Amino acid sequence: MNFTSQILQGIPNELPTKKTYPKNANSAPKRKDILSLEEKKLAIKNALRYFPKKWHKVLSQEFANELKEFGRIYMFRFKPDYKIYARNISEYPANSTQAAAIMLMIQNNLNPDVAQHPEELITYGGNGAVFQNWAQYLLVMQYLATMTDEQTLHLYSGHPMGLFPSSKNAPRVVVTNGMVIPNYSKPNDWEKMNALGVSQYGQMTAGSFMYIGPQGIVHGTTITVMNAFRKFLKKNENPNGKIFLTAGLGGMSGAQPKAGNIAGCITICAEINPKAAKKRHQQGWVDILIDDIDVLVKRTLEAQKNKDIVSIAFIGNIVDVWERFDKENIFIHIGSDQTSLHIPLTGGYYPVDLSFDESNILIKENPELFKEKVQESLRRQVNSINKHTKKGTYFFDYGNAFLLEASRAGAAIMAENNIDFKYPSYVQDILGPMCFDYGFGPFRWVCASGKQEDLDKTDEIAAQVLQEIMENAPEEIQLQMQDNITWIKNAKANKMVVGSKARILYADAEGRIKIAKAFNDAIANNEIGAVILGRDHHDVSGTDSPFRETSNIYDGSKFTADMAIHNVIGDSFRGATWVSIHNGGGVGWGEVINGGFGMLLDGTKEAEEKLKNMLFYDVNNGIARRSWARNDEAIFAIKREMERTPNLKITLPNLVEENLLNNLF
pLDDT over threshold 80, residue 659: yes
* Longest distance between any two alpha carbons in the chain, whole Å: 79
pLDDT confidence of residue 251: 63
pLDDT confidence of residue 419: 86
Task: State how far the Cα of 564 lies from the Cα of 621, in Å rounded to an integer.
Answer: 9
pLDDT over threshold 90, residue 442: yes
Question: Is there a shared CATH topology between the 214-424 domain and the 439-648 domain?
Answer: no
Closest CA to 130 of 159, 92, 170: 159
**CB atoms closer than 10 angstroms to residue 575:** 23
Q: Select the more confidently predicted residue: 284 or 297.
A: 297
pLDDT over threshold 70, residue 583: yes
Task: State how far the Cα of 87 lies from the Cα of 393, in Å rounded to an integer.
Answer: 46
Confidence of residue 253 (pLDDT cuts 50, 70, 90): low
Pick the CATH number of 214-424 from 3.40.50.10730, 3.20.20.70, 3.40.50.11540, 3.20.20.140: 3.40.50.10730
**CB atoms closer than 10 angstroms to residue 482:** 14
468 among the known binding-site residues?
no
Whether residue 592 contacts residue 543, with contact meaning beta carbons closer than 8 Å, is answered with yes
Q: What is the pLDDT of residues 497-549, one digit of tens each?
A: 889 999 999 999 999 999 999 999 999 999 999 999 999 999 999 999 998 99
pLDDT over threshold 90, residue 250: no
pLDDT over threshold 70, residue 252: no
Give Cα separations from 109 to 116, 199, 213, 607 (angstroms): 10, 19, 8, 24
Average pLDDT over residues 468-490: 93
Q: What angle do CA 309, 314, 318 make, to 5 degrees?
A: 110
Q: What is the pLDDT of residues 317-365, one digit of tens each?
A: 999 999 999 999 999 999 999 998 888 998 899 999 999 999 999 998 8
Pick the CATH number of 439-648 from 3.40.1770.10, 3.40.640.10, 3.40.50.450, 1.10.533.10: 3.40.1770.10
pLDDT over threshold 70, residue 280: yes
CA 216 to chain centre: 8
pLDDT confidence of residue 591: 93
Average pLDDT over residues 615-635: 98
CA torsion 75-80-84-89 (nearest 10°) is -120
125 among the known binding-site residues?
yes
pLDDT over threshold 90, residue 555: yes
pLDDT confidence of residue 343: 85
Residues 6+ apart with CB under 8 A from 633: 433, 434, 437, 438, 476, 626
Q: What is the pLDDT of residues 92-128, one digit of tens each?
A: 999 999 999 999 999 999 999 999 999 999 999 889 9
Buried b (16+ CB within 10 A) or exposed e, 334-350: bbbbbbbbbbbbbbbbb
Domain locations along the chain: 3-196, 214-424, 439-648
398 among the known binding-site residues?
yes
pLDDT confidence of residue 214: 81
Tell me the pLDDT of the chain averaged across its residues. Answer: 95
CA 499 to chain centre: 16
pLDDT confidence of residue 602: 98
62 among the known binding-site residues?
no
- Percent of the chain scored above 70 by pLDDT? 100
Give the architecture (CATH level 2) of 3-196: 3-Layer(aba) Sandwich (3.40)
The conformational region for residue 448 under phi > 0 = left, psi -120 to 50 = alpha, else beta, is alpha
